Chain A
Amino acid sequence: MSAIMTSTKNSSALGYQSFKIGEFSFDRCEYFAYINCPTAEHIISIDDFLRALMRDVAWGFFYGTVAFDDVFGTINHYGNVDVYLGTKHAEWKHAGRDYIENFKSDELMDLFKAILSDWTNEGFDPFAAPQETGTAWGPKRGNEDRLISRQREVAKRMVGIPGDAPLRTDEGGYPVNRAFPDVDQEQPVIEAEPGFEGELHAYNFFGYLSRSDVTWNPSVVSVIRQSLFCPTTEEYVLPIDHGNDRVEWFLQLSDEIVWDIKDGETSTPLATVTMRAGDVSAMPGDIRHQGQSSKRCMLLVWENGSPEILDMIRKGTAPMVPVTF
């Protein structure tokens, strides 16, 4: 009979806390996060773990599956969340090593936030590109609670409209990112006739994006009912595999991203989608995707946040592809 390993790591020896929820426990050492459950132990490099955890927290468990890697992740049921080990991996399931447990969303969120706060060392920004941050390694060294508590910007109608999400400016703490010095910052000229000064709105969308201080973290810039334009800037590797429970769309605005596509249930590789400026691609609802970008780029993520889709997901009737032809 094969062994079930349990962590011998003592987080407190390095100044860190250990954490537990249900049958899952979490420890860290100088280099790794250790996840234990009744069927197995799993190890993830601590920088990868914290970057993935940051997205799971910031996105409120997001839509569907947030896979920290091929083995560990969360599945959002909107009010409650599954934490799993091996459940989305064919070989782990075949070996009977998979384990899944459900928690109330707010309880799990409290735990994840506590881990993130305790395990993120001073100088390490899990939202930042690797070149723009210090390291996660070593014994406990301060914290970065200010950085990890950043809220993503969400417009109600359109950024820049008075009373809505503000534009990004130097004065507001959003300088142009080092990778976008050539992006024009001029704002559109608006010539409103007398009496219509408050009714015409436009702004420099690419300029706004060029000032994003985070990677792989969409904000919402314009909204029509439940249609959400969620642009983001991407650099290096998306810290998670996202397994959506609905169709989403990507529109590449600049540069290039290569997406590795895997089966959502088994982690089997299915395809590679290479997106260059102007390319549009759906991400079907039954796959997982992870992007890689060699240079910071601009990506439009387009989501449908409709409650109608939530009902369809619960009934298992949500379409997995957007169109057939």
Chain B
Amino acid sequence: MATEYNTVFASIDNYRKGGVQCLNEDAKRYAFSNIYEVAATNKPYDRIVVAKNLDYTIEVCRAEGRSGWMACAHDEFVIAMDYDVVVHYLKLADDTMIDRDKDGFQSIKSAPEGQKMGRIFLKRGHQALLPENTAYSFQADKPATLMFQTILGDESIEKWAEICQH
């Protein structure tokens, strides 16, 4: 009899966590969390660090409505982890709006001037490049989960005790 396979993904409104079962171990050493829970329980577009290796990070945010503009002096990557998100790109007219010497994403406080580069429509499991020195903004019609490959910055939020099993 042929097996019918069903791939189990999760989402901001439907996830079931696992966990660390300890024999002779401290669960905190595993910094165990769940990205959908983090997205579900934090403010839109707060970038929460869920994994950190020296200065490199994986960050997660709840996408909901339109975000402000952000940019970064290095490449970043974003993956839509459940629902649809649109990424808008802008070539900054004034590239001094971001600090080239800083790692991590930087919010651009005022509406930046620049040339529209286009949009990418992300569905679940789609990964997009957020190129260095390029402004980007997100639009999500309903709450969604975004995951970033990036580097720790001034605006990255670390709240390990709140998000991790211990």
Interface residues of A (CB under 8 A from B): 157-158, 161, 178-184, 186-193, 196, 199-207, 221-222, 224-227, 229, 246-249, 251-256, 261, 268-284, 295-298, 302-304, 306, 308-309, 320-325
Say if the beta carbon of B142 comes within 8 Å of chain A.
no
Task: Determine if A188 and B128 form an interchain contact, defined as CB atoms under 8 angstroms apart.
Answer: yes
Complexed CA–CA distance, A278 and B11 (Å): 8
Query: Which residue on B lies nearest to A223, using beta carbons?
Result: B75
Q: How far is the CB of B116 from chain A (nearest CB, A)?
A: 5
Instruction: For chain B, give the interface size range.
Output: 35 or more
Q: Which of B32, B116, B166 contacts A281 (CB 8 A)?
A: B32
Q: How far is the CB of A307 from chain B (nearest CB, A)?
A: 12
Q: Which of A193, A222, A296 contacts B77 (CB 8 A)?
A: A222
Say if the beta carbon of B7 comes within 8 Å of chain A.
yes
Task: Determine if A278 and B36 form an interchain contact, defined as CB atoms under 8 angstroms apart.
Answer: yes
Task: Determine if A254 and B7 form an interchain contact, defined as CB atoms under 8 angstroms apart.
Answer: yes
Complexed CA–CA distance, A157 and B166 (Å): 36
Task: Determine if A200 and B25 form an interchain contact, defined as CB atoms under 8 angstroms apart.
Answer: no
Task: Determine if A269 and B23 form an interchain contact, defined as CB atoms under 8 angstroms apart.
Answer: yes
Complexed CA–CA distance, A206 and B81 (Å): 10
Complexed CA–CA distance, A249 and B51 (Å): 7
* Other contacts beyond A200-B89, A276-B16: 4, CB < 8 A: A199-B117, A201-B128, A222-B127, A227-B151
Task: Determine if A189 and B121 form an interchain contact, defined as CB atoms under 8 angstroms apart.
Answer: yes
Chain A positions within 8 Å of B120 at CB level: 188-191, 200, 202
Complexed CA–CA distance, A61 and B45 (Å): 40
Complexed CA–CA distance, A196 and B89 (Å): 10
Q: How far is the CB of B62 from chain A (nearest CB, A)?
A: 13
Complexed CA–CA distance, A267 and B76 (Å): 38
Q: Which of B10, B30, B53 contacts A227 (CB 8 A)?
A: B53
Can you report 23 A-B residue pairs in the complex whose CB atoms are below 8 A from each other? A158-B127, A179-B7, A183-B7, A183-B125, A188-B128, A193-B116, A193-B117, A199-B89, A200-B128, A202-B126, A205-B79, A205-B125, A227-B149, A251-B35, A251-B51, A271-B25, A271-B30, A274-B20, A276-B16, A282-B32, A284-B30, A321-B29, A323-B158
Task: Determine if A282 and B121 form an interchain contact, defined as CB atoms under 8 angstroms apart.
Answer: no
Query: Known: A182-B7, A280-B34. Is A274-B149 also a contact (CB below 8 A)?
Result: no
Complexed CA–CA distance, A129 and B139 (Å): 40
Task: Determine if B115 and A325 form an interchain contact, defined as CB atoms under 8 angstroms apart.
Answer: no
Chain B positions within 8 Å of A295 at CB level: 5
Task: Determine if B91 and A196 form an interchain contact, defined as CB atoms under 8 angstroms apart.
Answer: yes
Task: Determine if B25 and A270 form an interchain contact, defined as CB atoms under 8 angstroms apart.
Answer: yes
Query: Which residue on B lies nearest to A274, using beta carbons?
Result: B18
Query: Known: A203-B127, A280-B33, A306-B54. Is A261-B25 also a contact (CB below 8 A)?
Result: yes
Q: How far is the CB of A194 from chain B (nearest CB, A)?
A: 9
Task: Determine if B54 and A309 form an interchain contact, defined as CB atoms under 8 angstroms apart.
Answer: yes
Complexed CA–CA distance, A261 and B32 (Å): 14
Q: Which of B35, B54, B58, B87 contacts A278 (CB 8 A)?
A: B35
Q: Which of B15, B151, B164 contacts A224 (CB 8 A)?
A: B151
Task: Determine if B5 and A308 form an interchain contact, defined as CB atoms under 8 angstroms apart.
Answer: no
Complexed CA–CA distance, A312 and B66 (Å): 42
Q: How far is the CB of B125 from chain A (nearest CB, A)?
A: 3
Task: Determine if A199 and B35 form an interchain contact, defined as CB atoms under 8 angstroms apart.
Answer: no
Q: Which of A188, A247, A255 contacts B121 (CB 8 A)?
A: A188
Task: Determine if B50 and A280 form an interchain contact, defined as CB atoms under 8 angstroms apart.
Answer: yes
Q: For chain B residues 93-151, which have a beta carbon within 8 Å of chain A?
A: 115-129, 131, 134, 145, 147, 149-151
Say if the beta carbon of B52 comes within 8 Å of chain A.
yes
Task: Determine if A278 and B37 form an interchain contact, defined as CB atoms under 8 angstroms apart.
Answer: yes
Complexed CA–CA distance, A283 and B28 (Å): 11
